[in-house]
Structure 1
Amino acid sequence: MQGKKQQRQDNNNNNSGSTAADRIGATFRRLEQRGERALICYVVAGYPDAEATAGIVDALVAGGADIIELGIPFSDPIADGPTIQKASQAALDAGVTPEKALQIAKIVRKRHPDLPLLVMTYSNILVHAGWDGFLSKCRAAGIDGFILPDMPVEEAGEYTAKAAEHGMATVFLASPNTSPERLKEIASHSSGFMYLVSVYGITGARSSFEDYTKDAIKRAKEAAGHKIPVGVGFGISRPEHARFMAGAGADAIIVGSAIIDRIARAGGGGRRQQTAMMLADLKSFAASLKKALK
């Protein structure tokens, strides 16, 4: 009886999202001890093709990426700018489904056992597939949690409950003009980290950031306290952006469009040479961002 009780307790601990076995939490704790901020890199599953995606993750991790967001292509990505929209549509046109995206996740997990791996997509995919069924498939594929830009905390009861049952993180988004009270609510519903949108509008690389971004980071950090890290994304594309966010107090930066832009611009001779050049560029880019976060 005692053994079964202990097993149930262990299962509850593993599902809480706060144990030492949690890859996201362990990563943030390790980086904090080193005085570093986390580099979170976003890739679209199946772009430029399914075979290349795992290699792209390999290159980003080799360059210093601490956490990977794997985007499951969706037909109406309302939070994404034209760069990610185009990549997502290309993946859909190539036949990438949520199931195929999870097959890519399995490959990434096998290659990187300790790498935190998040799914970034839209709630309709999970609702259509069924919460329990899809979450089970994600867990089996090695996914650690979700970022659903269209999921407000007010409607997230079933989502957060089911995710907790499966031991998976739920990362919610806050905007620069989110009130302090709502920031606290978002932080209380988030696990893994809270995602602060750095600018108004949709994703996409930009040249600089305004003081309101720095103020938003300060408010988010105050709301999160010591309970959860704050990651900042949208528009980050240069080492100086990374330094700006780290200097403002962000625990992590999230980079997506700038990575997709590099993949889209990849040039070279034959296909093998082109791929090699692209992967080398992505590794170098990630390394430049990571250096700015140390």
Structure 2
Amino acid sequence: MELSRPGFSVYLTIGFPEPARFSQILGSLSSCVDFYELGLPTARPKYDGPTVRASHRRVVAAGLRGVETLKLLEKTGIDKPFTLMAYMEDYVDSLRGLLEAAASVGAGCVLLPDLAFDYPEMLDKYVEESERAGLRPCFFASSRFPHSWLQRYAALDPLYIYLGLQPATGVELPIAVEKNVKLARMLVGSRYLLTGFAIRRPETAAALIRSGADAVVVGSAILRLIEEKGVDEARSLACSIHQAVHSAKTSHGEG
């Protein structure tokens, strides 16, 4: 799998807001998305913000959870590249099964945001099992990650490195995010740098691309619009951000 540079990704929790509508939502957003990040529902989305947590609770309450939700993807069919997001906490004893299931539905990688925080001793195993399943690894880093970890990630040939710009998804605090992106770009070299958390405006997305990000991902803002105003409003926001991203000139080549 190759990801476009620049690129725009939308995060969706698989099965949200209802399993029966999930396919429609994917189809509606598709023309304004370069690739998707799809979350496997979990009872404990510990590093997500309130909107994403609520989406997990809703899907889990409907009886869907974990790898079983990948059946929805098999039925739906996705016409864009996609990666999966899950929590290592749920798969400590079944990591191989998770990665094999992800590969079987066509995912490019499985992002485990709690890997480095809570299970750093499993990093090498995750990389080995990803490669065994025919996937590339992908890694999450916060803006306060040690520089050595970003450089270590870059050396492992990841599909992407996801830089979380804020403490949690959808939670916006006054942090110098553009400066953090520029620093991360220096540390990871030419590796694909995906940025996310609290991006909800086209101008913010464009500024991040100009600062050195290869792509941005928007989740909470899209989920909130789907829930409160419907998929047409969510699509309008996605399309405006997609256009801004692809019109922005990056600091390491033009989009």
Per the normalisation by structure 1, the TM-score is 0.77
Larger relative helix fraction: 1
Indicate if the aligned counterparts of 2:40 and 2:67 stay in contact, CA closer than 8 A: no
The residue that corresponds to 2:188 in the other structure is 224
Larger Rg over CA atoms? 1
The residue that corresponds to 2:28 in the other structure is 59
How big is each residue's C-alpha offset from its partner over 1:169-215, in whole Å with a ceiling of 9 and x where there is no partner? 3221112222332221122236111001112x111154x864x2112
How big is each residue's C-alpha offset from its partner over 1:37-79, in whole Å with a ceiling of 9 and x where there is no partner? 21011001111111211221212212x2111111111111111
The residue that corresponds to 1:125 in the other structure is 90
* Counterparts of 2:37 and 2:238, CA distance in 1: 14
Asked whether 1:136 is paired with 2:100, we answer: yes
* Counterparts of 1:131 and 1:290, CA distance in 2: 33
Taking only aligned residues, the RMSD between alpha carbons, in angstroms, comes to 1.8
Asked whether 1:46 is paired with 2:15, we answer: yes
Match for 1:174: what amino acid? A
1:280 CA displacement:
2.0
Output aligned runs, 1:85-96, within 5 Å. 85-96=53-64
Output aligned runs, 1:22-41, within 5 Å. 23=1, 25=2, 27-28=3-4, 31=5, 37-41=6-10
* Counterparts of 2:22 and 2:174, CA distance in 1: 30
Indicate if the aligned counterparts of 1:105 and 1:143 stay in contact, CA closer than 8 A: no
Q: Structure 1 residues 240, 85: closer, same or farther in 2, change over 3 A? A: same
Select between 278-287 and 66-75 the one with higher mean Cα deviation.
278-287
How big is each residue's C-alpha offset from its partner over 1:236-260, in whole Å with a ceiling of 9 and x where there is no partner? 0111111121121110001110111
* Counterparts of 2:108 and 2:219, CA distance in 1: 19
* Counterparts of 1:85 and 1:158, CA distance in 2: 28
| Amino-acid identity (%) | 26
Asked whether 1:233 is paired with 2:201, we answer: no
SS of residue paired to 1:184: helix
The residue that corresponds to 2:113 in the other structure is 149
**Runs of 4+ that moved beyond 3 A:** none
Give the number of equivalent residue pairs. 243
1:126 CA displacement:
2.5
* Counterparts of 2:219 and 2:161, CA distance in 1: 17
Asked whether 1:177 is paired with 2:129, we answer: no
Output aligned runs, 1:153-168, within 5 Å. 153-168=120-135
* Counterparts of 1:161 and 1:111, CA distance in 2: 27
* Counterparts of 1:134 and 1:100, CA distance in 2: 10
The residue that corresponds to 1:288 in the other structure is 240
SS of residue paired to 2:63: coil
Q: Structure 1 residues 232, 209: closer, same or farther in 2, change over 3 A? A: farther
* Counterparts of 2:227 and 2:127, CA distance in 1: 35
* Counterparts of 1:174 and 1:255, CA distance in 2: 16
SS of residue paired to 1:221: helix
Indicate if the aligned counterparts of 2:48 and 2:168 stay in contact, CA closer than 8 A: yes
Per the normalisation by structure 2, the TM-score is 0.89
1:217 CA displacement:
0.7
* Counterparts of 1:261 and 1:82, CA distance in 2: 10
Indicate if the aligned counterparts of 1:214 and 1:245 stay in contact, CA closer than 8 A: yes
* Counterparts of 1:117 and 1:221, CA distance in 2: 23
* Counterparts of 2:121 and 2:188, CA distance in 1: 18
Q: Structure 1 residues 193, 209: closer, same or farther in 2, change over 3 A? A: farther
* Counterparts of 1:256 and 1:158, CA distance in 2: 28
Q: Structure 1 residues 287, 205: closer, same or farther in 2, change over 3 A? A: farther
5+ residue gaps, structure 2, are 247-255
Q: Structure 1 residues 125, 151: closer, same or farther in 2, change over 3 A? A: same
Select between 253-262 and 47-56 the one with higher mean Cα deviation.
47-56
Indicate if the aligned counterparts of 1:174 and 1:186 stay in contact, CA closer than 8 A: no
Match for 1:193: what amino acid? Y
